[in-house]
């Protein structure tokens, strides 16, 4: 459990949730902003048939951050939750529940009964969704949500469709489509691309004897043996070379592509080359059917060889078997060469459940994938099987049922997307995407190659497509509203689902009897893509409101939606209005399990989100997710320890900073007998250089956050915000503890407290959108110190009612920020040197040398030398611009992994040469970014450059250790004298005393006396007693309590003791007793 001194982050968040509920925080925000400019946000609707996962949590967090930030910047932001209620996700669950195998089962049950079952589970997990969304701190309106099953939502879908139909963008066609046999329906091309998996499929090569000479056989390769009974043609590439060969093992004569001989033969010794020719020589030749089921089509021109460029030389035999009704290219080529004709016989002996029909009696009733083995057996028995193997390849699966898709020719309804591709590209260019590469590459390429959209589904639970047609399909009426349907049919309905509209007829105007509705429904992507209009019941209601706020200012979803919701939103918006539906869009990457695989309930390879939240809190989870590669559109391997580290690295330092402020304000109030008050309007900074720095640093951060959030770049904002707490606690507070605690003087203490309050108050508002719970906790505990006159026109009941603070440019001092940054660089380099040489900071060192060519840099360092000397515990700081004076030279080391992988055989020689590079060579490399070494060009990315001290070169017999960040060079004299070593020991003694006091639970205000003595009479232990005596004043000043040699005579006063305290090679006894000695 994440706790710090009884502070439990998750339980405190629960208290904040209750507080928000009490003050009706979210709705109060909306009421406060109702007259402000509108900021429009669209929420993509999830299905409530499953529980939210980390992908939902991530996208929801991004949406919450951006919309909260917009509110804090003076906008009115409506946030309505949406639910996807129709389509395959729901129907698939019902099919499993009721054991429904196909359309016949639904007809037996009845569409009304089937849809009633679907309706029951639509909102199965809605309460769980509400609980976890609220627990994550996301503010969104569930009470005024939209559901795609609402009649008013469905009516707007009808209106959208009628506009497209009126523009001639809708047509009925017969196309080979990805088909889900588990769901008995075709899918759109973008749906089929959402779930590819690597699978092992049978790969066979079958023979096709030519009619002109049955001893000569074409051989074709396929990984779908189940399509072979429907073979009607063979296809070759006219431009490639083909060969006739005699197989030595069987004496058979085969024709295949020359470039693909390796598919069948390992060696040229296995065959004899008889003839070579280009593919066009095979055009028009006929062959013997593989199976007898459709041999009657030979009279119509089937079982022929033709040429097409889609045949490649990178797989198979270079001869492609054609089953026109099970392959998109097959269908196109077969139509082109007259093997099949529009309106002619359809060779598609597979039903909607993926089972063979009676047209192929040998396999009737078998699921196609299950029939592969029997088909191969038949081929073998007929002497038509040439070769059999297994092929591992990437294959599309149904995104809902997770079962393999097949490609199958079906009659469907389409939107002419190909006709508006230029408009899609034009409007996409108007949108701002983060990250941009998704827009410029992934989405652009998808739009550029967009196919017509198959939007119809042969299903039941969905919005019915509002087309009423005559029996011959010649008369078609498109309905765009409930009123229009009533006007033409005389029937008024309030629910638009199939059970209510399927039996409604419309009289024909051309004497064709009555028109009946087509049976298909819209796919759920059409419904979600219509949400900008349908959630407002546009154009039937809210017309002016919608048109004033369209397109949306902001949307966000995962990268998988580039072929989903982002795409359908754009297609419909462009088709309707020639406008993009959104202005700004954030695309997040995918959250994977720690092992890099997809998160799986079955594998249990990820921690339950509820458990993570209950252990660490929602703020920690939010910050972990958004401070990761996913906000740049990359993947994140979810690690629980990452959430835990956010507590340690961000929230605990932040909490401690607040507690330190709180504790010392109270102490100041007690000492000065004055109430502490902070007035942001009148606060103009401090004259203290450390205060100036943190105030400037905070205001610069405010400026940066505003600028970057305006550009929706969370990936630049979050790291800067997170790093801020290191600057605040490890640099500002650490360097100012004595001032803040009042140990300097009251005036300086008050200035430091005002400064610390100012920056905490500022960062708290900046962080409110990102970590809504902890910022609320901080706000509730510091707001009582705000001056009444400074907040008279503000509602300070919640931090989320406050606006982002205006940037105080008068507090920004770029020079002091630059100086402190350079000071920090020097200190951090010095720390590295100490760590490398195992020299604890407690032990003083004689000298620090800072080398830089720029005078300004050295001036900045000298201006803050006191902090550098104190922090690194060195006696003297020397500045120089001459590294040669100290025997410093550059050293180059090859990056073995990077360079070795690229150079392979020549790596050894290049590696040796790199290690021998001179300073002038390395300087050239740094300047140009590359260098020629042994005839190979190497770059700075492939070489590690460090500084090294020439051991033979000494200045006044002093040995230095060096380190650099490729800007400044730092040297430390690492040979302390005896006095320095003794001072280090004294610091160690202070450290052990303080640890013992902490162990006893003592407070700084508790009066105690520290007693010490040697553990034995050895010479070594006698030496440390001399050190303690020598540095007694220093030790007493550090612990602010008296120390004395010898143990206390009365045990009654002993608080704690340790008789074996180790300090280096020494052992002493320590005892802490009540009160000060006389």
The fraction of the chain above a pLDDT of 70, given in percent, is: 97
Contacts of 956 (CB under 8 A, 6+ apart): none
Q: At residue 193, does pLDDT exceed 70? A: no
Active-site residue, 413 included: no
Tell me which of 561, 699, 727, 754 is the catalytic residue. Answer: 561
Q: Provide the CA 324 distance to its chain's centre, in angstroms.
A: 41
Half-sphere exposure (CA, 13 Å, Cβ side) for 893?
8
Tell me which of 158, 565, 731, 785 is the catalytic residue. Answer: 565
Tell me which of 226, 433, 461, 525 is the catalytic residue. Answer: 525
Tell me which of 64, 84, 95, 860 is the catalytic residue. Answer: 84
Contacts of 400 (CB under 8 A, 6+ apart): 88, 89, 92, 180, 182, 183
Tell me which of 21, 276, 448, 601 is the catalytic residue. Answer: 601
What is the per-residue pLDDT for 956? Answer: 52
| DSSP 8-state symbol, 727 | I
Mean pLDDT for the stretch of residues 789-818: 93
What is the per-residue pLDDT for 568? Answer: 96
Cα–Cα dist 226/230, whole Å: 8
| DSSP 8-state symbol, 1020 | H
> Which pLDDT band, with edges at 50, 70 and 90, does 4 fall under?
very low
Cα–Cα dist 443/452, whole Å: 16
| DSSP 8-state symbol, 864 | T
What is the per-residue pLDDT for 820? Answer: 95
The strand pair at 320-322 and 845-851 is best described as unpaired
What is the per-residue pLDDT for 117? Answer: 93
Tell me which of 598, 637, 644, 1074 is the catalytic residue. Answer: 598
Active-site residue, 112 included: no
* Strand boundaries in 129-194, DSSP class E: 141-147, 170-180, 185-186
Contacts of 595 (CB under 8 A, 6+ apart): 605, 637
Beta-bridged to residue 591, according to DSSP, are: 636
| DSSP 8-state symbol, 647 | I
The strand pair at 80-83 and 141-147 is best described as parallel
What is the per-residue pLDDT for 596? Answer: 85
Active-site residue, 36 included: no
Q: Where are the alpha helices (DSSP H) in 81-236?
A: 88-98, 103-109, 111-121, 126-135, 151-166, 189-192
| Cα 1055–Cα 1059–Cα 1062 angle in degrees, nearest 5 | 120
3-class DSSP string for 233-290: EEEECCCCEEEEEEECCCCCEEEEEHHHHHHCCCCHHHEEEEEEEEHHHHCCCEECCC
Mean pLDDT for the stretch of residues 416-434: 95
Beta-bridged to residue 636, according to DSSP, are: 591
Beta-bridged to residue 393, according to DSSP, are: 199
Instruction: Mean pLDDT check: name the lowest of 747-761, 894-908, 979-993, 999-1013.
Output: 894-908
Half-sphere exposure (CA, 13 Å, Cβ side) for 61?
30
- pLDDT per position as a tens digit, 204-229: 999 999 999 999 999 999 999 999 99
Active-site residue, 561 included: yes
- pLDDT per position as a tens digit, 860-876: 999 999 999 999 999 99
Give SS3 for 174: strand
Cα–Cα dist 589/1038, whole Å: 51
Active-site residue, 247 included: no
What is the per-residue pLDDT for 3? Answer: 37
Cα–Cα dist 685/691, whole Å: 8
- pLDDT per position as a tens digit, 528-587: 999 999 999 999 999 999 999 999 999 999 998 888 899 999 999 999 999 999 999 999
Neighbours of 545 (CB within 10 A): 12
For residue 434, is it left (φ>0), alpha (ψ between -120 and 50) or beta? beta
**Cis before 82 (ω within 30):** no
Active-site residue, 808 included: no
| DSSP 8-state symbol, 559 | G
Cα–Cα dist 309/280, whole Å: 11
What is the per-residue pLDDT for 2? Answer: 39
Active-site residue, 426 included: no
Instruction: Mean pLDDT check: name the lowest of 210-224, 229-243, 474-488, 832-846.
Output: 832-846
Cα–Cα dist 84/522, whole Å: 13
Q: Provide the CA 352 distance to its chain's centre, in angstroms.
A: 37
């Amino acid at each position: 459990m994440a706790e710090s001194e009884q502070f439990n982050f998750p339980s405190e968040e629960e208290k904040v949730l209750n507080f928000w509920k009490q003050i009706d925080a979210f709705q109060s925000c909306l009421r406060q902003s109702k007259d402000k400019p509108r900021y429009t946000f669209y929420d993509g609707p999830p299905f409530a048939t499953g529980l939210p996962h980390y992908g939902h949590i991530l996208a929801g967090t991004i949406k919450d951050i951006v919309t909260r930030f917009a509110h804090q910047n003076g906008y009115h932001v409506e946030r309505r939750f949406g639910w996807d209620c129709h389509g395959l996700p729901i129907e698939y669950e019902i099919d499993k529940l009721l054991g429904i195998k196909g359309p016949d089962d639904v007809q037996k049950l009845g569409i009304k009964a089937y849809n009633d079952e679907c309706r029951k589970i639509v909102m199965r997990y809605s309460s769980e969704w509400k609980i976890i969304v609220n627990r994550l701190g996301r503010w969104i309106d569930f009470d005024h949500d939209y559901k795609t099953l609402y009649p008013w939502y469905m009516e707007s879908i009808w209106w959208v469709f009628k506009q497209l139909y009126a523009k001639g963008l809708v047509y009925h066609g017969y196309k080979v489509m990805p088909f889900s046999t588990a769901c008995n329906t075709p899918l759109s091309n973008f749906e089929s691309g959402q779930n590819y998996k690597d699978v092992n499929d049978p790969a066979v090569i079958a023979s096709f004897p030519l009619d002109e000479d049955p001893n000569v056989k074409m051989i074709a390769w396929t990984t779908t043996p189940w399509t072979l009974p429907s073979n009607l043609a063979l296809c070759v590439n006219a431009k490639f070379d083909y060969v006739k060969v005699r197989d030595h093992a069987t004496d058979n004569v085969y024709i295949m592509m020359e470039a693909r001989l390796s598919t069948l033969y390992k060696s040229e010794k296995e065959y004899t080359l008889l003839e070579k020719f280009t593919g066009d020589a095979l055009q028009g030749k006929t062959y013997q059917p593989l199976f007898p089921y459709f041999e009657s089509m030979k009279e119509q021109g089937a079982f022929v060889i033709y040429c097409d460029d889609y045949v490649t030389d990178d797989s198979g035999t270079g001869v492609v078997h054609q089953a026109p009704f099970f392959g998109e290219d097959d269908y196109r080529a077969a139509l082109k060469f007259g093997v099949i004709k529009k309106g002619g016989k359809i060779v598609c002996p597979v039903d909607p459940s993926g089972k063979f029909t009676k047209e192929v009696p040998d396999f009737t009733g078998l699921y196609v994938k299950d029939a592969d083995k029997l088909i191969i057996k038949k081929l073998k028995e007929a002497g038509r099987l040439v070769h059999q193997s297994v092929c591992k390849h990437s294959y599309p699966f149904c995104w809902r049922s997770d079962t393999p898709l097949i490609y199958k020719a079906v009659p469907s309804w389409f939107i002419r997307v190909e006709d508006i591709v230029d408009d899609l590209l034009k409007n996409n260019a108007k949108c701002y995407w983060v990250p941009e590469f998704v827009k410029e590459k992934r989405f652009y390429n998808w739009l550029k190659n967009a196919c017509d959209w198959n939007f119809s589904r042969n299903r039941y639970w969905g919005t019915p497509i509002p087309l009423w047609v005559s029996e011959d399909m010649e008369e078609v009426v498109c309905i765009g509203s409930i009123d229009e349907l009533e006007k033409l049919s005389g029937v008024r309905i309030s629910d638009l689902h199939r059970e209510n509209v399927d039996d409604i007829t419309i009289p024909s105007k051309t004497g064709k009897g009555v028109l009946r509705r087509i049976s298909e429904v819209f796919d759920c992507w059409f419904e979600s893509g219509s949400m900008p209009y349908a959630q407002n019941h546009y154009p039937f209601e809210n017309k002016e409101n919608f048109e004033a706020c369209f397109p949306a200012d902001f949307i966000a979803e995962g990268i998988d939606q580039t072929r989903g919701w982002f795409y359908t939103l754009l297609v419909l918006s462009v088709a309707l209005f020639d406008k993009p539906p959104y202005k700004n869009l954030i695309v997040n990457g995918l959250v994977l399990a720690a092992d890099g695989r997809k998160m799986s309930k079955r594998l249990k390879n990820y921690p339950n989100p509820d458990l993570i939240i209950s252990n660490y809190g929602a703020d920690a989870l939010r910050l972990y997710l958004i401070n990761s590669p996913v906000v740049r559109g990359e993947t994140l391997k979810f690690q629980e320890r990452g959430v835990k580290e956010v507590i340690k690295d961000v929230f605990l330092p932040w909490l401690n900073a607040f507690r330190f402020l709180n504790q010392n304000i109270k102490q100041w109030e007690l000492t000065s007998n004055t109430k502490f008050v902070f007035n942001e309007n009148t606060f103009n900074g401090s004259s203290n250089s450390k205060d100036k720095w943190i105030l400037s640093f905070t205001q610069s951060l405010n400026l940066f956050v505003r600028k970057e959030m305006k550009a929706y770049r969370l990936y630049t904002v979050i790291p800067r915000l997170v790093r801020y707490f290191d600057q605040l606690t490890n640099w500002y507070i650490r360097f100012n503890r004595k001032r803040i605690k009042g140990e300097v003087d009251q005036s300086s203490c008050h200035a430091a407290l005002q400064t610390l309050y100012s920056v905490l108050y500022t960062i708290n508002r900046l962080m409110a959108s990102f970590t809504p719970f902890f910022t609320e906790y901080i706000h509730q505990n510091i707001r009582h110190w705000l001056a009444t006159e400074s907040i008279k026109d503000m509602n300070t009941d919640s931090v989320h009612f406050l606006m982002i603070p205006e940037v105080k440019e008068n507090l920004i001092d770029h020079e002091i920020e630059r100086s402190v940054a350079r000071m920090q660089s020097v200190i951090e380099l010095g720390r590295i040197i100490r760590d490398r040489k195992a020299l604890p900071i407690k032990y003083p060192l004689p000298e620090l040398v800072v080398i830089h060519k720029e005078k300004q840099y050295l001036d900045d360092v000298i201006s803050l030398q006191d902090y550098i000397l104190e922090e690194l515990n060195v006696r003297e700081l020397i500045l120089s611009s001459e590294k040669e004076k100290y025997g410093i030279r550059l050293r180059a080391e090859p990056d073995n992994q990077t360079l070795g992988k690229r150079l392979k055989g020549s790596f050894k020689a290049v590696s040796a040469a790199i290690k021998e590079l001179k300073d002038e060579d390395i300087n050239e490399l740094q300047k140009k970014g590359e260098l020629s070494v042994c005839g190979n060009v190497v770059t700075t990315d492939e070489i590690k450059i460090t500084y090294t001290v020439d051991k033979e070169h000494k200045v006044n017999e002093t040995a230095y250790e060096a380190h650099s960040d490729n800007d400044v060079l730092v040297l430390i004299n690492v040979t302390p004298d005896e006095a320095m070593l003794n001072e280090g020991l004294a610091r160690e003694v202070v450290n052990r005393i303080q640890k013992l006091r902490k162990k006893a639970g003592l407070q700084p205000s508790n009066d105690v006396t520290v007693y010490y003595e040697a553990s034995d009479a050895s010479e070594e232990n006698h030496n440390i007693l001399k050190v303690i005596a020598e540095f007694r004043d220093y030790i007493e000043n550090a612990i602010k309590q008296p120390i004395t040699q010898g143990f206390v005579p009365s045990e009654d006063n002993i608080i704690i003791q340790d008789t074996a305290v180790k300090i280096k090679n020494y052992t002493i006894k320590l005892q802490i007793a009540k009160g000060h000695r006389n």
